[in-house]
Amino acid sequence: MKIVNVKTPDLNIPLFEAEPGQFWCILGRNRSGIDTFFSLLSPGQAKIPDPGICLPEDMGIFSFAGQQAVFEQELKNDDTDFMDRLDPGTLARSFIHDPDQHADLIRAFAMDQVLDQGYRQLSTGQTRKLLLLSRISSGSRWLLIQSPFDGLDKAGCSQLDLALDHCRVCGMGILVFVYDPGDIPLGATHIAVIENGTMTRSGPRQEIVSRLFDLQEQANFSAHVTDLKPAETAFFQAVASGEAPHSKELVRLEDGHAGYSGRPVFSHLNLCMAPGDHTLVSGPNGCGKSTLLQVISGDHPACYRNRLWLFGTRRGTGESIWELKKRMGIVSTELHRSYRVPGSVLDCVLSGLYDSIGLYQRPGFEDQKKALAWLGRISLSDKAESSFRTLSYADQRLALIARALIKLPDLLVLDEPTHGLDRANRDAVLDFLSQVAAEKLSTILYVSHREDEFRDFFVSHIRMEMSRPQGPSAFASHMANDGQFV
């Protein structure tokens, strides 16, 4: 693989070479040019062929775009309307080339117990591991991987580190793209850094890492890239509705349970949230964190089978889900995947006022002013009229966060909202949420794997764990509520 004198409007690469058996980590912040570099290395994704780019033919690619393509194909193949149950989707084992030959690798990823489940029955982290397994097992001699650790729990990250190092030992060439110095894979032999549209340094790991992790340089790397600007009280006053929560209790779930196709995901879960009870939910991939949030938001049919109250109203008593959703703001991988409609970035943010995917109402002047204020807050004002679907994954995620926050809802439901964001943007999002909590503008329900996102504004921590009892309740999860967060 060789790149020579390649220039685009936002990237300049004088020379980059990678050999089989080398494990490269490409590090760059959001909007640094790193996503353009990934596209240049992705066969068929570069908009203009360039004679200065020489790529191997057998490239296995794992990307945000590839994950979206699989999701959309699964939607096309969904036969739920013709079945008497939910269509589970393509069997997990169908994604892996020769599962028997790769049995050890499958076990290392803790995926051996879910091979006979459908794609739509898997958690977000499990689908990412499955697609990574698909690429690794494909027989390709090169792997090109975008942000592989997003959505994986701590064990999953360790499993992936071991798997990638095994691939390197077997002679594969590997290029992993990450946005955070803390996500550099343990087995990486070489590092390249992209800053402000230029590859500023590259070479063997030991030559780069001593400078990269110098405290002053690491602080500089984060300090100048904060795209989400610090919040100010004046900004909150401009965008807030000024309305207090309508009820003393936002969420109550008693002995909660949910599953798919008769397979339990979690059970015996109790949750109660009053205004100001900002709650963190953590746990391994597949334990039911996202499912819990889907039950609360009304996006899982189990919401009608549970003893669930939202804003003081019992679900299943004739209430309007749209009236309930007016009081919620939601960011999740599922929402991000589903946001496939045409429309501008401004339309996306405005749609949060109407709880729709896409904008189908004519907004008033004040609503447009509020949406533009949010775009300014995430440094996307210049992209207001651009198509949402042309943004990078990270900028799409920032726009969806603004979409959820625009109405400062009573309940803000955030399922790993910082996917694809660099450290500075991730910290800025959490700092912003800290001020939302301090100003008592919304109550936050937040799912995360990352311990560096466990902030002190959370007053309750729910740890969901995998349990495998004998009998039909295998893979059910249980939870422990710690009460006061420490």
Q: What is the predicted pLDDT for the residue at 227?
A: 55
Which tokens is 273 given?
């949230």
Which range has the worst mean pLDDT, 94-98, 117-121, 403-407, 473-477? Answer: 473-477
As a whole number, mean pLDDT of residues 409-437 equals 92
pTM of the model: 0.83
As a whole number, mean pLDDT of residues 152-176 equals 90
Query: How far is the C-alpha of 155 from the C-alpha of 284, rounded, in Å?
Result: 8
Work out the number of other CB atoms within 10 angstroms of the CB of residue 102. Answer: 16
As a whole number, mean pLDDT of residues 283-301 equals 90
Residue 415 above 90 pLDDT? yes
As a whole number, mean pLDDT of residues 342-369 equals 92
Residue 93 above 60 pLDDT? yes
Work out the number of other CB atoms within 10 angstroms of the CB of residue 220. Answer: 12
From the list 393, 261, 378, the residue with the least C-alpha distance to 337 is: 393
Q: What is the predicted pLDDT for the residue at 486?
A: 34
Which range has the worst mean pLDDT, 146-150, 229-233, 311-315, 472-476? Answer: 472-476
How confident is residue 100, by pLDDT bands cut at 50, 70 and 90?
A: very high
Helix (H, G, I), strand (E, B) or coil at 208: helix
Residue 274 above 90 pLDDT? yes
Q: Where are the alpha helices (DSSP H) in 250-364?
A: 289-297, 321-325, 333-338, 345-351
How do residues 256-271 score in pLDDT, each as one tens digit? 999 877 778 899 999 9
How do residues 435-486 score in pLDDT, each as one tens digit? 999 989 899 999 998 888 999 999 999 999 875 543 333 333 444 444 443 3
Buried b vs exposed e over 228-244: b needs ≥16 C-beta within 10 Å? Answer: beebeeebbeebeeeee
As a whole number, mean pLDDT of residues 264-293 equals 92
Query: Are 92 and 130 within 8 A, CB to CB?
Result: yes
Query: Are 233 and 440 within 8 A, CB to CB?
Result: no
Residue 115 above 90 pLDDT? yes
Q: What is the predicted pLDDT for the residue at 156?
A: 87
How confident is residue 241, by pLDDT bands cut at 50, 70 and 90?
A: low
Q: What is the predicted pLDDT for the residue at 152?
A: 87
From the list 207, 197, 215, 256, the residue with the least C-alpha distance to 36 is: 197
How do residues 2-21 score in pLDDT, each as one tens digit? 999 999 999 999 999 999 99
Give the whole-number percent of the chain exceeding pLDDT 90.
52
As a whole number, mean pLDDT of residues 311-338 equals 89
Residue 223 above 70 pLDDT? no
Looking at per-residue pLDDT, the higher value among 282 and 218 belongs to 282
From the list 312, 318, 403, the residue with the least C-alpha distance to 355 is: 403
Residue 82 above 70 pLDDT? no
Query: How far is the C-alpha of 58 from the C-alpha of 40, rounded, in Å?
Result: 15
Query: Are 165 and 187 within 8 A, CB to CB?
Result: yes
For CATH 3.40.50.300, the residue range(s) in the chain are: 2-223, 233-481
Query: How far is the C-alpha of 24 from the C-alpha of 191, rounded, in Å?
Result: 6
Range among 55-69, 240-254, 343-357 rated most confident = 343-357
Angle between helices 423-438 and 393-405 (to 10 degrees): 0
Q: What is the predicted pLDDT for the residue at 240?
A: 65
Q: What is the predicted pLDDT for the residue at 309?
A: 94
Q: What is the predicted pLDDT for the residue at 5?
A: 92
**Which CATH number is 233-481 given?**
3.40.50.300
Q: What is the predicted pLDDT for the residue at 179?
A: 94
As a whole number, mean pLDDT of residues 55-60 equals 87
Looking at per-residue pLDDT, the higher value among 234 and 346 belongs to 346
**Backbone CA torsion sign across 252, 257, 260, 261:** negative
Average model confidence (pLDDT) across the chain: 85
Domain covering 2-223 assigned CATH 3.40.50.150 in the classification: no
From the list 328, 160, 124, the residue with the least C-alpha distance to 245 is: 328
From the list 153, 80, 156, 155, the residue with the least C-alpha distance to 118 is: 80
As a whole number, mean pLDDT of residues 173-193 equals 94
Work out the number of other CB atoms within 10 angstroms of the CB of residue 438. Answer: 12
Q: What is the predicted pLDDT for the residue at 214?
A: 55
Which tokens is 276 given?
């100001």
Give the whole-number percent of the chain exceeding pLDDT 70.
86
